[in-house]
A and B are shown apart, each in its own frame.
Chain A
Amino acid sequence: MSTIAAMSGAEPREVESRDVSVTLFADRNAAYYGSVFERLQKGELPFWHMNLAGLLIPWVWSAWRGVWLMFWVSLALDMVGLVCLMQNFKYGPLLADAHLDPSANAILIERYTRWLSVYNNVGIATLILGRLLIGLQANRWYFKQYSKWRIDEHTACGVETRRVVIAALILVLAAPITLYRSTQQRIDERACFNQVRAIDGTQRLLSRYGVTEVSDLTSALADRRDRLVTERATLEANASLTDDQKSRLAEIRREERQLRRENDAVEDFKTVSAKDRFDCLFIDDFPTLARIDPPEDVTYRRVPDEDAIAQGRSGATKVIRQVKDPVEGRTVNIFTYTAESIDIGINFLRAQYAGIFDALTNVLRQSLIRVEVAFMLTPWPVLVGLAMILAWAYCGTGTVVFVGASLTFLAVFELWQIAMQTMALVVVATAICIFVGLPVGIWMAKNRIANWITEPILDVMQTIPSLSYLVPAVAFFGISQPPAVLATVVFAIPPMVKLTALGIRQVPQSTKEAALAFGASERQLLTKVELPMAVPSIMAGLNQTIMLALSMATISAFIGAEGLGAIVTAALGDAQAGKGLLAGIAIALVAMVIDRILKGIRSSLSRI
């Protein structure tokens, strides 16, 4: 029987033909696996059937045969068991210490003994049961791999020493350090930081005193201290001191303090053992050893420009730059350095382009006020009527009832005006989302580079916690409604952009080709073919955007947005559960009313 015939599973085969493929797959011990696989297929394999190699040397066996899943599972099970047993080394000494004074440490002794017995039982159980599981499953997993191999020839087959070597490397890298870690107490949070500081400080001192050995350094420091002490003693012996001498005395005291700090650092350094260093590098937190000088502490402020005002330009301003002295010896890690740099950057932009930000704030505030006025001054019967008519025209009776009930809820609980404030914010934010999102979406659909740039930005906008960009929004625009609108836009715009792009991309190539074949220009293609065909998708994006804008109402209330969200945040501050719940339900109802009506309009559009 040829190999090809053996590998095709469709026609009935002789037993020998399967043997050929099992021999190819299993390589060593093919006779054993041939019979096991055959019994497995026939359903004759008893459930207690066990692979001895899987039971005894599962890591070696699975790596040798390329059953990597089994390698990892057996490794994990064994490690869990061993780590549990390793607790003996961790709590054993503690227990022994406690036993030195049994009466005082009764609670500790009881606790450690209990922990140790639990750990030992769990560890032994995991080892035994884990091995049993692997032994029972080994041949079954191996058979699955065989089945996979018959479909996909790239699946690992046969036996390979190379794989055993890789497995051994994994073991050497992972096992000892994990087991060592499980025997150690948790390292003090500051210990590694202090260690780094001591090492750095000592290195600096070594270079300052021009010595190479720490012992030399200690004696150098001692020498200097002796000299200072002698000098101070001489000075203090005098009954009266000149001003020069007084200042010299103060200086000596300062130097002595400095010297004591240096001495402490060296003493700390001496206590740092190789084990401490190893612990800090490998088993504690990821070693962030880089300590750099912080960025210059700069503040930018915009002040009236006296010179220009004197020359007749009233109201002229300029940016001034103030630098604070750095804190002596302060070093920071990269995170702090970058964060402070960003702060300074924001500060600079705010001062430098104050006009732009103020203008933007003003535009937003004015449009918000207009919309708010429109919503709040339109008599409630008109708005209710409009909503009901829309619901009746585009949706079913159920929706009309729902809309009516929701609006009644707002009215009865006296939330109408406040809900209208929320609506105004949502409307302004949504309008911005449409005006920005639609062109960006079109651009993204048409241009591969634009897509490449925009896609990750949108992903970040969707996933970044909104609280983290509220802070810069406040820095630029202050606490008021406009930054709340902008934060809402950032949060709500991604679906608008993405679904616009999706809708345009979904237009079939053949339809676009037909339009071109009848003489359409690029612009006509967009306005007469692509955009109309993308309308259902764009409407879905709009719906999403409005929902997100509403759900942002609460968060933007933190930076001064008014409306229902503000009630929720206030209730949160005062721990008034009822108030917060009612306002939250009101937001949800507003959202659902808009959603239902928009859905109705959308489906009537996509019916075309």
Chain B
Amino acid sequence: MSVVEVDGVWKIFGDKADEAIAAVRNEGLGKPEVLDRFGAIIGVKDASFTVEEGEIFCLMGLSGSGKSTLVRHINRLIEPTTGTIRILGEDIGAMTSEVLRALRAEKIGMVFQNMALLPHRSVRDNIGFALELRGKDAYHRAQLADHALETVSLHGYGDRLPSELSGGMQQRVGLARALAADPEILLMDEPFSALDPLIRRNLQDEFLGLSQNLRKTTVFITHDLDEAIRMGDRIGIMNDGEIVQIGTAEDIVTAPADDYVADFVAGISRLKLVSASKIMVKVESHVARYGPIDDAHEYPTARPEDDLDTLVELSTGTELPVLIRHDGNTVGIVTKDTLLHGLQGTEAQ
């Protein structure tokens, strides 16, 4: 069972939402036409995806692409126009507000781009906010909050006010607040976008480490493809409210679904993303063209899942191509030409 299931979600802002959906479905209207004809704005257009337990799912898109709107459907901060969202198998659209509030406080933690800490409360009280809302007593709140502070390496800052902390530290507090109630799901809405690059990198690494330990199911929003590739087990790319492609970083880089995605991935380094199996020439076609391989034992070898970085390492200092071997059989061959084309992202001749 998937932890988060989003199925056919539409969000149209405006009075004539239903007519607008019908028109988009039947006539394939674009954003400007819908605004013109119905005075409605398409926030999310027929989005479906699932997130498995412990997985980090990145939603990537430019600002205005509807990613923040979509993530707010997962804890129903925004009601979908149509479509269903299931959390741990339960349809949250059918929940009463009481049950929904319990779900938000206990099962889903959220981190915001602008931290959104409460300025009048100490760091500890900020972290214990969700617990306080559920009526937890002050003693246990403080214990859990201190534990969460330790998790994000801010031990000892509990009695400070948020304004006394730097931006990076504030976002750690935001993360600690999301983790305090030990929820199953984390929603991260561009958590690191407002930070400067070094701190962002630090926090990304730290969050990756955390997430390997805690195995939280995470939906991670970003407008930065590098970040999406670093963080995400899978990536969904959004454009104009629509998810145009879902896949692993390698899928997206090697087989972009359309020009929009292709534009995005054009500048991405493929060294660590693309595996040998994607670029190798099948051994049969190589043999058919150039004849059988002699002295195979002298050739450097690699596995199909090894990335281009490894192949470059193997190819330097030798003129010989790299053999790709799987289960003791040679399945493919990577010549220098193939490797260079693979790095560039162009087809070998």
Contact = CB atoms under 8 A, between A and B. Distances in A.
Contacts of B101: 519-521
Interface string B96-140: 010001111110111010101111110000000110111000000
B161 interface: yes
B177 interface: yes
A524 B106 CA distance: 16
A516 B134 CA distance: 13
B312 interface: no
A518 B112 contact: no
A516 B77 contact: yes
A510 B174 CA distance: 13
A443 to B, nearest CB: 21
Contact of A510 (B105, B114, B132, B133): B114
B75 interface: yes
Interface in B69-105: 75, 77, 97, 101-105
B116 A528 contact: no
Nearest to A509: B116
B120 A514 contact: no
A516 to B, nearest CB: 6
Interface string A515-529: 111111100100011
B133 A519 contact: yes
Given A524-B133, A528-B132, A517 B118 contact: no
B161 A608 contact: yes
Contacts of A267: none
A401 B121 CA distance: 34
Contacts of A532: 118, 120-121
| Chain A interface main SS type | helix
A533 interface: yes
Nearest to B183: A518
Interface in A485-542: 508, 510-511, 513-521, 524, 528-529, 532-533, 535
Interface centre among B101, B109, B114, B120 (most CB of A within 10 A): B120
A514 B134 contact: no
Given A510-B114, A514-B110, A517-B77, A608 B120 contact: yes
Contact of A518 (B121, B130, B161): B130
Contacts of B108: 517
A519 B75 CA distance: 10
A528 B131 CA distance: 13
Interface string A533-561: 10100000000000000000000000000
B120 A535 contact: yes
Interface centre among A510, A518, A533 (most CB of B within 10 A): A518
A514 B72 CA distance: 11
A533 B118 contact: yes
Nearest to A512: B116
Contacts of B117: 511, 514
A575 B40 CA distance: 70
A532 B121 CA distance: 9
A517 B108 CA distance: 8
- Interface band, chain A: 10 to 19
A535 B121 CA distance: 13
Contacts of B118: 511, 515, 528-529, 532-533
Nearest to B122: A608
Contacts of A517: 75, 77, 104, 108, 110, 187
B133 A514 contact: no
B116 A519 contact: no
B116 A514 contact: yes
Contacts of B105: 518-519
- Interface band, chain B: 20 to 34
B120 A511 contact: no
B116 A518 contact: no
A228 B182 CA distance: 110
B116 A511 contact: yes
Contacts of B77: 513, 516-517
A514 B105 CA distance: 11
Nearest to B161: A608
Contacts of B177: 518
B164 to A, nearest CB: 11
Interface in A21-38: none
B183 to A, nearest CB: 10
A292 B35 CA distance: 56
Contacts of B129: 515, 518, 528
A429 B6 CA distance: 57
B272 to A, nearest CB: 34
Contacts of A520: 101, 133
Interface in A252-303: none
Contacts of B102: 519
Given A510-B114, A524-B133, A528-B132, A518 B104 contact: yes
Contacts of B119: 533, 608
A528 B130 CA distance: 11
Contacts of A533: 118-120
Nearest to A607: B161
A242 B148 CA distance: 117
Contact of B130 (A519, A521, A535, A608): A519
A518 B133 CA distance: 8
Interface in A584-608: 608
Contacts of B104: 516-519
A386 to B, nearest CB: 27
Contacts of A519: 101-106, 130, 133-134
A516 B104 CA distance: 8
Interface string B145-171: 000000000000000010000000000
A514 B132 contact: no
Interface string B33-70: 00000000000000000000000000000000000000
B163 to A, nearest CB: 9
A53 B112 CA distance: 66
A144 B54 CA distance: 67
A514 B104 CA distance: 11
Contacts of A510: 112, 114, 116
A517 B110 CA distance: 7
A342 to B, nearest CB: 43
A521 B102 CA distance: 10
21 contacts: A510-B116, A513-B112, A513-B116, A514-B116, A514-B117, A515-B129, A517-B75, A517-B108, A518-B109, A518-B110, A518-B130, A518-B133, A519-B101, A519-B102, A519-B134, A521-B133, A528-B118, A528-B129, A528-B133, A608-B119, A608-B161
Interface of A: 508, 510-511, 513-521, 524, 528-529, 532-533, 535, 608
Given A508-B116, A511-B117, 13 more contacts: A510-B116, A513-B112, A514-B116, A517-B108, A518-B110, A519-B106, A519-B134, A520-B133, A521-B97, A528-B118, A532-B120, A533-B119, A608-B120
Interface of B: 75, 77, 97, 101-106, 108-110, 112, 114, 116-121, 129-130, 132-134, 161, 177, 187
- Nearest 4 CB-CB pairings of A with B: A519-B105, A514-B116, A519-B104, A518-B130
